[in-house]
Amino acid sequence: MITHREPTTFETRVYDAIRCIPRGKVTTYAALGRMIGCRSSQAIGQALKRNPFAPDAPCHRVIKSDLTLGGFSGERTGPETLRKLKLLEAEGVRFDKGRLVDGSRVWET
């Protein structure tokens, strides 16, 4: 049985911030953390893993600082990361050999 809970204050800050990322752009876990005053990329990732507002809060637009794809829905490989890749490709964001092709797609505040 799945139980639903209200997002924490921290999670709400993360979800509000990712709503600002424009379609066709990505940001990094670290940049997102800086935006909301959090120095833990892992905490950002954990909040994104529990995102109940996707796709309105587009967690697929957050990638690793080395400009590789990163995880999705709590998975680092497999069908969920493929789904993240396809969502980004549908927005014109391309990866080659697991790395972002066009650095101008990185959105920073």
- The answer to whether the beta carbons of residues 28 and 62 sit under 8 Å apart is yes
- The answer to whether the beta carbons of residues 25 and 107 sit under 8 Å apart is yes
**Active-site residue among 21, 31, 59, 69?**
59
Q: What are the two backbone dihedrals, phi and then psi, of residue 10, each rounded to the nearest 5 degrees?
A: -60, -50
Tokens of 29: 């876990």
Has 38 been annotated as catalytic?
Answer: no
Q: Which residues are catalytic?
A: 59
